Structure 1
Amino acid sequence: MKFLKITKRIINTCANSRQNVLTVLSDEPTPSLEEWESAIPYENVPGPTPIPLLGNTWRFIPFIGDFQTEHIDKVSKKLHEKYGKIVKMEGLLGRPDMLFLFDPDEIEKVFRQEDSLPFRPSMPSLNYYKHVYRKEFFGDNNCGVIAVHGEKWQDFRSRVNQIMLQPRVTKMYVKSITATSQELVDRIEAIKNEDDEVPEDFLNEVHKWSLESIAKIALDVRLGCLDRDAHPDTQRLIDAVHTFFMLVPVLELKIPFWRLWSTPTFKTYLRALDTIREITLKHIDIALHKLDKQDNQELSVLQRVLKMDNNVKTASNLALDMFLVGIDTTSNAVASILYQLSLHQEKQANLYDEVKKLLPDSDTELTHEKLDRMQYLKACVKETMRMYPVVIGNGRCTTSDRVIGGYQIPKGIQVIFQHCVISNLEDYFPRCNEFLPERWLKTSDLCKSHHPFASLPFGFGKRMCLGRRFADLEIQTVLAKIISNYKIEYHYEKLDYYIHPMYTPNGPLKLKFIKR
């Protein structure tokens, strides 16, 4: 009886959660009466059948459920194979229904028709942290861009867009990011064994590089993450970010007991976010004291926001969001690309030829003009992100009734675009199982055959990834530096991919870095 009462309370919470979505102001176009009435009713959308009380949430319960959060990629693939291009997952305790969309034509329609205040699928746990648990810190109007919606999101994003998304601003950081990338090259040389192989925890070294890069871009602060005597806060921050991402699917997809009482998992989650906030704020304070000592070319993102907006809260919370979501994503992308290049020696050789022409000597300066000319390098990045996107999907929450895929989709449904499935389908990418960077080159016939909305690792539209230009800069720069210095090999059993917490190779990355 006690379990039934708890379950009913959670169901009521779910209803309230959906009602919050429904109250979002919307100017999203609604279908005509004729279009709506000719569409198939929502209840007929195919998908797994929920059971009484537990709905479909039971599927994510360990041992008894048939869905595992670390293998959502495989779960999504099975849903597509069994139910088709549109799949309904209803009865998820504590959150609205999810609608998995595997059709790039329909995904494009959703993006093209989104309103001025697009609503991303919510993260109730992070929303709670920002708007309830630490409301006194974040306030009402400067909560950043993560887990924020409506006019507050639009106001914040409009103030930082021109700094974060303009190519001319990004190019000013090439010199700083090149220096940080060289630190990773030096670190690789220091940690290799006599067989030129890096340790099993090499991914953690890439995390350190990513953290160092973000600190330089966001705050113009050198943390010394890759130094032998790095400050303990470096690892604490990396571990906290990792914990945050690991626990999000646990809190969001499994039975949300945390909404009724503070569970051990939820306490760990809150502590991780507090650690991220506290360590980041230390370095923000240092950066603020440097405000009047820098010229225009060397200003950090924090300082540029302050010069433009003169609001410390805006600048600080933007920097905090950059640390929160920019470390694991970028580092796992780099690790995955290095691993794929190690498996495809011919493609790596092609990349080295391109890099060598533009960086003939170890002391040749890497500039943004040279990066712009490295088309094959960019193709290698795109191809890895097609096959193994570090974030396997994104989505939108409908803010009005819509017709999607010929079905009536009501307001308040979370529409999920699982690009990890779509971008690995032969329908949209011929020879999809092959690692073919050439498909992204304009001179290739394959370039003309893929759907532009079948692979969107950074999203699309008004809520596309705010840090994508900086992420591109970091990834391209470090790859150019590594490839110019090393040939990369891998001599162990091929690794599968899993979500831990990003989509990443499952196993130690014991890569071999042979000095060129």
Structure 2
Amino acid sequence: MISNAYFHPLSPIPGSKLIASNNFLTGISTLTGRSHYGLDQLHKRYGKVVRIGTDIVTVADKDMIREILVTTDYPKSIIHQGFELNGQHNLFSSRNKDFHKNRRRLVAPSFGLQYLRSLEPIMHECIHVLIKKIDELLENSKAAKGKKVLPQGHINICSFMMRLSLDIIGETAFGQSFEMVQDDVHPIPGQMAKTLRRSMQQAFNPWMKWIVPLDFSFLEFGAERVRARKAKGEKGRRADLLQYLIDAQANERVNGNGETGNDYEDMISGKLTDKAVETEASVFLIAGSETSSTAMTFTMMFLVKNPDKLAKLRDELDLATASNPRGALPTYDQVRNLPYLTGCINESLRLRPVAATGLPREVTEDVTMNGYFFPKGTILLAQFPQLHWSDEYFPQADKYIPERWIPEETPFKPVQDFTFYPFSAGTRNCVGKNFAMMEMRLILATIVLTYDISAVPNQREDYVQYITTALATESYVILMTKR
């Protein structure tokens, strides 16, 4: 430990010598889900570059983050192996650039704007179920079916955003709603989240593998859904992400680029085997539900705490949908380019980034960056949240100011490039960005147009990160009445 603290190549980098002497303390901090609070304090004390383990350095310098994520585009670190499902590489977990390039080439078109338009009716169906359920609770709060009964008009919007996101991704990734909004009893989402949470903790704490084994039995659900869709043939076709994966797999085989029979080689090369289709659909479920649901919850939290911003957003939405008949849901064409709605979402993603602990990348060869030497194998934690929360780049950074994203309305200088990373950057940026923004715009617009919403005081707002950022209590209640 003394050697690591004082004689290691990373020793000159500022930081606590005790924390830097080993990876144990950093690993333990991930078990609580609150390591982002500690990282924030370390940067305030030691500066923009801080050593937090034997071979781990957290970086909050704008130019260095750009170098890490974009210019050099370092591969993901070994920590991301925590997202491998039953030993299967996937688009999110893989550290192999060739695998990622091949798999992304196959998957990315399913998240293109043209294909996503075909998902709008599916999203609308799920949103209709949400509106119906909330209306039932507003009529009779005891309709919660054994769940905690809240006072009349009080709705746990955090719970409903998670349940709605699960239903939408269930419909689009598996061709079947989990009916979480209606009943909240399906076991698969909870099993998956629990396993991935433990898997990520094990990535930082390898000793946990011997104490808490992982349960991947939920993968059979995905396998069954894929088999069922294929068995129906043309009769089972529908416009969703699962169908796109199945079609992409079929095209590979027709073109002679399908599986070779060597499972390991097929996985490494990124071929869409049956297991790959099942795994990618499962990853979509986790990555596509918790992230967007949390972002929507935080956005509504900021809006009800800032009634003037909420009123301004409603005015924009009322104007954009003025021609709609009463009760009609807003369409994506009506909301996709609304500047204030986009500003409200961006400001929420700035204040509560999806990855509050930053993005880990691994140095592939010895390098000197901004005067700091990093030997091969160093894990650099691109601490972009520190940019989001900096008055240097975002004046009055602790305040919710959607206007800062609208050039004609901002009281500040335009937002600088490479200071805002809501969906990462470089070749490993989020492939589902368009899906997430479409979902958030449609849902937030619908709620603000359909209900008067206001704040309920004295609620906890602290947040944790295991897989992605989420409210620690998994609860945020707002007061809702039908407009």
**TM-score, normalised with respect to structure 1:** 0.78
By how many angstroms is 1:435 displaced?
Answer: 0.4
Alpha-carbon deviation of 1:212? 0.9
Shift of 1:341: 1.2
**CA distances 1:20-47 after superposition (whole Å, capped 9, x unpaired):** xxxxxxxxxxxxxxxxxxxxx6431112
Q: How far apart, CA to CA, are the structure 2 residues paired with 1:77 and 1:376? A: 29
Measured in 2, the distance between the counterparts of 1:159 and 1:50 equals 46
SS in structure 2 at match of 1:198: strand
Which aligned pairs between 1:441-480 and structure 2 lie closer than 5 A?
441-446=406-411, 448-480=413-445
For residues 480-505 of structure 1, give each alpha carbon's deviation from its aligned partner in whole angstroms, at most 9, with x where no partner exists.
11111112112221533220544334
Match status 1:302 vs 2:302: no
Q: After the TM superposition, which residues 219-238 of structure 1 pair with which residues of structure 2 at under 5 Å, given as runs?
A: 219-228=174-183, 232=185, 234=186, 236-238=187-189
Contact 1:440 1:446 in 2 (8 A): no
Select 1:241's aligned residue among 166, 174, 192: 192
Matched residues in 2 for 1:411 and 1:447: separation? Answer: 40
The count of residues paired between Structure 1 and Structure 2 equals 439
Q: 2:395 aligns with which of 415, 420, 430?
A: 430
Shift of 1:55: 1.8
Secondary structure of the residue that 2:381 maps to in structure 1? strand
Are residue 286 (structure 1) and residue 228 (structure 2) matched?
Answer: yes
What is residue 197 of structure 1 aligned with on the other side?
154
Deviates more, 1:78-87 or 1:369-378: 369-378
Q: Deviations over 1:178-222 (max 9, x none)?
A: 2212222222222343631125xx533322211111122223333
Identity score, percent: 20
Q: Secondary structure at the match of 1:50?
A: helix
Q: Which of the residues 98, 104, 107 maps onto 2:62? A: 104
Give the aligned residue type for 1:439. Answer: R
Residue 468 (structure 2) pairs with residue 511 (structure 1): no
Partner of residue 174 from structure 1, selected from 120, 145, 158: 120
Match of 2:262 in 1: none
Does the residue aligned with 2:422 lie in a helix, a strand or coil? coil
| Residue aligned with 1:373, SS | coil
1:347 maps to what in 2?
A: 309
Give the structure 1 partner of residue 267 of structure 2. Answer: none
Deviations 1:132-166 (A, max 9, x none): xx35xx4xxxx3213222122332222212222x2
Deviation at 1:56, TM superposition (A): 4.5
Q: Distance between the aligned counterparts of 2:229 and 2:479, measured in 1?
A: 37
Give 2:11's match in structure 1, choosing from 30, 43, 48. 43
2:366 is the counterpart of 1:420: no
Q: CA deviation at 1:245?
A: 4.8
User: Secondary structure at 1:511's aligned position in 2?
Assistant: strand
CA contact (8 A) 1:459 1:465 kept: yes
Q: Displacement of 1:237 after TM fit?
A: 2.1
Which amino acid letter does the alignment assign opposite residue 394 of structure 2? F
Q: Does 1:402 align with 2:381?
A: no
TM-score normalized by the length of structure 2: 0.83
Query: CA 1:321–1:180 in 2, change beyond 3 Å: closer, same or farther?
Result: same
The answer to whether the 8 A contact 2:161-2:293 is kept is yes
Q: Deviations over 1:250-280 (max 9, x none)?
A: 32334x3135xx21xx22xx12x432x1233
Any gaps of 5 or more consecutive residues in structure 1? 1-6, 8-40, 92-96
Question: What CA distance in whole angstroms lies between the structure 2 residues aligned with 1:500 and 1:109?
Answer: 25
Do 1:376 and 1:437's aligned partners in 2 also have CA atoms closer than 8 Å? Answer: yes
Q: Aligned equivalents of 2:56 and 2:383: distance in 1?
A: 12
- Alignment counterpart, residue 217 of structure 2, candidates 269, 274, 296: 274
